[in-house]
């Protein structure tokens, strides 16, 4: 959506989301709502989003389903790359991103980024994870170099 068009909408733009997002493999469509409101030099974007993704446990390698939810409010600064910052804006640390005021806001890309940031860094299927896969139910053979130490524990 062109930011110049969004600027003309006094109430901003509201989207109901119920679709799959490119580059994000999900079990269910992403559902929720997204609102973008142009405030002159800042674009305020807030959303409530939910979906389910299938992940692979890093420990046992089994697949499991994980609910993925986001409730986000983000301020995006609108200024060209070489333009000086607007002194009326909040501290620069409070602004997460920057867009060219003559550019576009891509709601689908923004949703992808927000949900992708909420994916776990370490995938664990749960507290009852069986652990790493094994090839046999038999205990592994004892290394003969440790045989003398094993005899110490039995006396």
User: How far is the C-alpha of 125 from the C-alpha of 131, rounded, in Å?
Assistant: 10
pLDDT of amino acid 40: 82
User: How far is the C-alpha of 129 from the C-alpha of 59, rounded, in Å?
Assistant: 8
Mean pLDDT, residues 28-54 taken together:
92
The pLDDT of residue 151 is above 90 = no
Q: In sequence order, what E strands does 58-112 have? A: 63-78, 97-99
Is position 17 within any domain? yes
The number of domains in the chain is: 1
Is position 146 within any domain? no
User: How far is the C-alpha of 17 from the C-alpha of 29, rounded, in Å?
Assistant: 9
pLDDT of amino acid 134: 66
User: How far is the C-alpha of 22 from the C-alpha of 109, rounded, in Å?
Assistant: 8
pLDDT digits (tens, 9 = 90+) for 72-128: 998 888 876 655 555 555 554 544 577 776 778 888 999 999 999 999 999 999 888
pLDDT of amino acid 50: 96
pLDDT of amino acid 83: 54
The pLDDT of residue 33 is above 90 = yes
Domain span including residue 130: 3-134
Is position 151 within any domain? no
């Amino acid at each position: 959506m062109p930011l110049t068009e969004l600027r003309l909408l006094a109430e901003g733009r509201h989207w109901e989301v119920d679709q799959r997002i490119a580059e994000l493999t999900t079990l269910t469509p992403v559902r929720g709502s997204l609102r973008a409101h142009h405030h002159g030099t800042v674009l305020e974007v807030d959303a409530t989003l939910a979906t389910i993704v299938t992940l692979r446990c890093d420990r046992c390698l089994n697949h499991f389903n994980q609910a993925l939810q986001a409730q986000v409010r983000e301020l995006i600064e609108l200024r060209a790359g070489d333009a000086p910052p607007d002194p009326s804006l909040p501290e620069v640390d409070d602004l997460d991103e920057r867009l060219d005021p003559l550019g576009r806001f891509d709601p689908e890309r923004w949703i992808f980024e927000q949900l992708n940031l909420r994916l776990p860094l370490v995938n664990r299927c749960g507290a009852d994870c069986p652990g790493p896969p094994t090839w046999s139910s038999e205990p592994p053979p004892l290394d003969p170099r440790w045989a003398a130490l094993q005899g110490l524990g039995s006396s």
